[in-house]
């Protein structure tokens, strides 16, 4: 490292001459102006923040991976700072899906809504829309909603999704029976879905209810399960 070395060896009683002062002066000037101070001549921790010029720490002076998570302020990374398409599926939190157990062979003969056995789920959401759907309870069982009639008239069944006691989707299904005898109308599950946009952040219970109209015999839910997930 650069070393400032000034001779201070004098014979006893020798006067401090101009030549000796010039020698000291020249040595100091040479050290500061030519050799200059390097990191070995600066005390550890000796450069305070106030001694740094504004903007002097450039990106080129930052070591790779030098900026740690703890050095980034909360909420400091804005949308504009994220590159287009940079947030991949692998970086997204998994969808908080909830699926109910099977309804089994559920039937009811009331014109008043009734909860379908097992078709209830509880889910915690962040405030984004919640997708609700009915699907088959397993890969092999036939799944459907149905309504029956045997008096030769039109029969209608009704289904609704509820968030707590709030209706978020309402559907009807049925048949027109022009002849006597009992008839069934079977409906695949693909059309029974809803998007709930009214749920703020929190935990909710969703469920399914069905009923028949006054002309029908019964309404049915066969091998159905309820699925809810936040978009």
Q: What angle do CA 212, 228, 87 make, to 5 degrees?
A: 150
Q: What angle do CA 139, 142, 148 make, to 5 degrees?
A: 160
Q: Which CATH number does the domain housing residue 208 bear?
A: 2.60.120
Residues 189-210 have a mean pLDDT of 94
Six-digit token pair at 178?
A: 């022009």
**Residue 87: count of CB within 10 angstroms of its CB:** 10
- Residue 1 domain-assigned? no
Rounded Cα gap, residues 79 and 100, in angstroms: 36
| Count: domains in the chain | 1
Q: Do 204 and 125 form a contact (C-beta atoms < 8 A)?
A: yes
Q: Do 132 and 226 form a contact (C-beta atoms < 8 A)?
A: yes
- Residue 65 domain-assigned? no
The 10s digit of each residue's pLDDT in 3-60 is 666 555 566 667 767 777 778 788 888 877 888 888 888 888 888 888 889 988 888 8
pTM, two decimals, is 0.66
Structural domain including 144 reads 98-230
Least confident of 55-64, 131-140, 199-208, 217-226: 55-64
Residue the block writes with tokens 């799944």: 143
- Residue 199 domain-assigned? yes
Rounded Cα gap, residues 190 and 169, in angstroms: 14
For the chain, the average pLDDT equals 86
- Residue 176 domain-assigned? yes
> What are the φ/ψ torsions at residue 26 (nearest 5 degrees)?
-65, -40
Six-digit token pair at 102?
A: 């099977």
Q: Do 224 and 117 form a contact (C-beta atoms < 8 A)?
A: no
């Amino acid at each position: 490292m650069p070393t400032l070395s000034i001779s201070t060896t004098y014979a006893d009683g020798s006067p401090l001459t101009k030549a000796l002062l010039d020698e000291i002066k020249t040595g100091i000037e040479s050290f500061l102006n030519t050799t200059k101070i390097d990191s070995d001549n600066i005390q550890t921790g000796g450069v305070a923040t106030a001694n740094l010029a504004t903007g002097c720490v450039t990106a080129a002076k930052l070591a790779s991976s030098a900026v740690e998570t703890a050095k980034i302020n909360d909420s400091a990374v804005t949308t504009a700072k994220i590159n287009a398409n940079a947030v991949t599926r692998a970086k997204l939190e998994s969808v908080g899906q909830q699926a109910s157990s099977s309804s089994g062979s559920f039937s009811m003969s009331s014109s008043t809504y009734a909860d379908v056995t097992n078709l209830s789920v509880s889910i915690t959401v962040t405030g984004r829309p919640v997708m609700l759907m009915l699907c088959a309870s397993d890969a092999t069982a036939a799944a459907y909603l149905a309504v029956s009639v045997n008096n030769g008239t039109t029969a209608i069944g009704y289904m609704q999704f509820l968030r707590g006691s709030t209706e978020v989707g309402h559907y009807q299904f049925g048949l027109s029976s022009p002849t006597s005898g009992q008839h069934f109308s079977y409906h695949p599950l693909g059309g029974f879905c809803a998007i709930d946009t009214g749920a703020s952040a929190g935990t909710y219970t969703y469920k399914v209810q069905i009923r028949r109209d006054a002309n029908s015999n019964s309404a049915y839910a066969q091998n159905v399960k309820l699925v809810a997930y936040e978009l």
